Amino acid sequence: MARYTPPEQSRFMQWVDIIFVVAAIFLALWLPLQAGWAGVSRSIVKIENPTWEALGQTPAQVEQWVKLGFADAAAAHDIIQNKFDYSIDWVQLFLLAAVIAGYFIFLFRASDKEYREVIAEKFDDKKK
- DSSP result, 101-123: HHHHHHHHHHHHHHHHHHHHHHH
Task: Decide which of 106 and 119 is more confident.
Answer: 106
Same domain, 121 and 93: yes
Number of compact structural domains in the chain: 3
Count the helices and strands in the chain (H runs, E runs): 4, 0
Q: Is 85 in contact with 44 (CB distance < 8 Å)?
A: no
Does residue 67 belong to any structural domain of this protein?
yes
Does residue 16 belong to any structural domain of this protein?
yes
Same domain, 92 and 126: yes
Task: Decide which of 10 and 40 is more confident.
Answer: 10
**Identity of the amino acid at 62:** V
Does residue 30 belong to any structural domain of this protein?
yes
Mean pLDDT, all residues of the chain: 87
Same domain, 34 and 54: no
CA distance 59 to 51: 12
Does residue 5 belong to any structural domain of this protein?
no
Does the pLDDT value for residue 128 go beyond 60? no
Confidence of residue 62 (pLDDT cuts 50, 70, 90): very high
CA distance 70 to 53: 15
Confidence of residue 89 (pLDDT cuts 50, 70, 90): confident
Does residue 6 belong to any structural domain of this protein?
no
Domain that holds residue 24: 11-40
